[in-house]
Each structure stands twice: as C-alpha cells, then as structure tokens.
Amino acid sequence: MSENFAPVEQKTVTVSADQTAYGGFWVRAVAFVIDNIIIAIPTTLISIPLLGYAMFNLLPYLEEFDQTEIVSSEMAAALFLFWSVSLLLQVIWVVFFWLYFALFESSAKQATLGKQIFGLRVTDGNGQRISFARASGRTFAKFISYLILYIGFMMAGWTKRKRALHDMIANTLVIKNH
C-alpha cells in the first residue's frame, strides 16, 4: 500500500541570540538612590560625633575671627582639626561606597541591596559572576561619570545593552533575573 504524503512546508524561525533583559536607566537610578541611603546610615553615624567634636573645638574661635584678621595658633589648630576630620570623613565615605558596591556585586547574589529589590544583577560581558577586582574597577569608574555631570550614568538610558560608562569600562552588564 502506497501512501502519498504532502510535502512538508519548512519554516525558518530566527531567534535573537541575545534574549537577555537588561536593567534600564530608571530602575538602576532608583536602586542607586536606595544604595546611597543605605551607605548614608553608617557614614552619618560616624560623621555626627566627629564633626560635632571638631565644631565644638572651632566654635569659640569664630567670634575671635570675626573681630580680627589675625588667627591665633589655637584657632589655627581648631581649623586644622576641622579640615582633617572633614577629609577623614570623605575617605571613610569612599571606603564604604567602594566596599558596599564591590562586595555585593561580586557576591553570590551579584547585586547590591537596591538592585536585589528590583531583581537586577551585575555580570561580566558573558553573563558570568564578576570578581571583586572587576567590581572594584566598576565602582571606581563611577567617579568618572560623576565628573562628567552624570552623563556616564545616563548612557544606560540610550545604549543598546543599557550599559552605563562604568559598565563599558569594566565590561559588565546589569541584567534582570529570570
């Protein structure tokens, strides 16, 4: 018995090799604000007593400075203390900022607390977990974006894979969890 089969029509379906969903500008911006609030808590708790101590030492000399152009050695010492504390607090903030982002983004979760809230994670260009060194480089590259008026951050809104300048420098991606 001979059965006739109709020829099977073949269809070609093309699937994009890159089905990854990237974290866009606005969701990353809100996550970044959340992360900065989290960083502000310990740095503020450290800053208040240190700045209070420095101001307490400087206040008695402010009236003196108003009345004369001559700065006493005691006032110079109080000013030096205030500037030193201010510089120390900036260093403390940079260290907190660096460790927070680098440790969280190189961890098993691959995301800061802000990114975790929105289901985002940081990967290398191939979708793999990044090292602490790469996460550190990515974190410090963010300062370039600050220096160029936040344009580096805004790039996540118009680049193909939603990459900010620091992502391009560190060869990283921010992707949505599946």
Residue 50 lies in a domain: yes
Q: What's the pLDDT band for 7 if we cut at 50, 70, 90? A: low
Provide the pLDDT for residue 64: 66
pLDDT of residue 10: 41
Contact predicate 165/152, CB 8 Å: yes
**Within-domain flag for 15:** no
What is the SS3 assignment for 34-89? HHHHHHHHHHHHHHHHHHHHHHHHHHHHHHHHHHCCCCCHHHHHHHHHHHHHHHHH
Residue 7 placed within a domain: no
Q: For 33-63, write each residue's pLDDT tens digit.
A: 999 999 999 999 999 999 999 999 888 877 7
Domain that holds residue 144: 25-176
* 69-112 pLDDT tens trace: 677 788 889 889 999 999 999 999 999 999 999 999 999 999 99
Q: Are 137 and 60 in contact (CB under 8 A)?
A: no
> Model's pTM, two decimal places?
0.82
Contact present, 43 and 99 (Cβ < 8 Å): no
Place 170 in a pLDDT band, splitting at 50, 70 and 90.
Answer: very high
In a domain, 2, yes or no: no
First and final C-alpha spacing in the chain: 52
List, for residues 9-20, the tens digit of each pLDDT value. Answer: 543 333 344 578
| Both structure tokens of 158 | 């118009």
**Are 108 and 121 contacting, i.e. CB atoms less than 8 angstroms apart?**
no
Query: Is the predicted pLDDT of residue 136 greater than 70, yes or no?
Result: yes
When pLDDT is averaged across residues 150-178 and rounded to a whole number, the result is: 94
Residues 156, 24 contacting (CB under 8 angstroms): yes
**Tally of domains within the chain:** 1
Q: Report if residue 111 sits inside a domain.
A: yes
* 160 Cβ contact list (under 8 Å, min separation 6): none
User: For the chain, what is the mean pLDDT?
Assistant: 88
Distance CA 56, CA 82 (A): 10
Is 62 inside a domain boundary? yes
CA-CA distance, 55 to 68, in Å (whole number)? 20
Structure tokens given for 137: 């480089």
